[in-house]
Structure 1
Amino acid sequence: MKRGKGLTFVGDSRIQKYDKPKLNRDYSEFPGRTEEFFPDYLLKEWLVGAVFLIGFLCLTVAHPAPLERMADPTDTGYIPLPDWYFLFLYQILKYTYASGPFNIVGAMIIPGIAFGALLLAPWLDGKKERHWKKRPVATGMMLIAVGIIFYTTWESVAYHDWDQQAKQGQIVFSNLDAEDPVFNDLIRTNCTSCHGGELAGGSGPNLIEPELAPEMVEAFVRNGTENMPAFEGQLTDEEITAISEYVAGLELTTKDEAANTEESAE
């Protein structure tokens, strides 16, 4: 057998037989059932996203998000409400076993167990079945979690004092001057922790009585009430009188009325 160009290789048992690799078939072989990713499919995705975005923007213009009053770090009586996706955690902190001395349970232990179970889910249920009926552990955990989140979110919204929340955000006093020395030195120190940063209510009532005479306010400040401490002995007679006259002289209005008044003045 000659070497060189005339050599013909017949076969070799040392080389294994192999099939031609399977290649993905072109989309054109399936008319009407598939399409090119770019630009056909991607253009449809962009159009759907643009329609959704425009609709969302129109909704925010027609129904703007309600804003509350300006944040006041001295207003310790204000009770904030978290966003809707955290309401279930907010509600859990109201239960006896997760509040007060057991606050660590509601704030750390219960969320920790939930997120820990989520992280351990691949090891808790390692079945390769894809149908939800054949994966009872994963399905059961998901149904329980969704049920708890749904129920606690609903309960938080159903039993929240929305009237008080609305009053805290809307009631204002047209002549409340935060730069006044009486407000800045006396009221902010002794009153806003319970009655709110703008005296519109917090853990204590809002000061909205229009016929409240200075003598009546002074009696409350001096002697206290069932839920209000007496300030006689803590404040001088002049300070109590100044607070009483300031509170009695407040004129009630709302944010909308105050805004309309400012626009008219301009």
Structure 2
Amino acid sequence: MTECRRLVVPLCWLSLLLAATLGMGQLEGLFRVIEPDSRQVIYDRAGFLTLLGRHLSVVGVAAVLAILIGVGAAIAVTRERGRDFLPLVSQLASMGQTFPPVAVLALAVPVLGFGTLPIIVALLLYGLLPIVRNTLAGILGIEASVREAARGMGMSSGQILRQVELPLAAPVILAGIRTSVTINIATAAIGATVGASNLGDPIISGIVNGNTAYVIQGALLIGLLAISVDSLFSRLPSPGGR
């Protein structure tokens, strides 16, 4: 029963997202008020459900790569052999987020071509910092006495990492992943400028054609998607069942 209550809010947001995605055409009268002079007020170059799926795919692939690289790098530099590289990894992750995604796209397109790959690279770089930073904070924040107690119980370094450090650091790591994914849901919209079809398509088309209704439709769905995902993350059970 408790688990069901935990999911009520995320399910409400997801239901609203699905309703808006499937029922956007039913709001033509409302958008006609916003754009009375436009011949067409509902974006129809691609279905909104299709665009939503593509958006989730791009963000999902970038998130998986960012988690694997970010958590892996942070773990590596907290080991005895990798501590000398800790400042370097932190600086590289910071540079990835301070470098504008648009600039990453401008540099990546000549090499990778138009399409989905450049935006995945941009989202990967942009999403690394929160994951690396929180993984480092979570692992380095564990008291030395806890590790010593684990060693006293005969645990190996690998066992300490898997059974002690990662479970204790998991809430902090998850918070970093949550921030990274939520930010990238909005950032992914710029992929439409390089041929990566997603929920940014209506926004870019609306800006180019001066159609505010298109912009609102894309922004509305991206906003609902970000809130839905963030709400799901907030309801994930923490280690230990708390």
Same fold (TM over 0.5): no
Larger RCO, structures 1/2 (Cα 8 Å, 6+ apart): 2
TM-score, structure 1 normalization: 0.26
TM-score, length-scaled by structure 2: 0.28
Query: Based on CA coordinates, which of the two structures has the bigger radius of gyration?
Result: 1
**Quick check: which one's helix share is greater?**
2
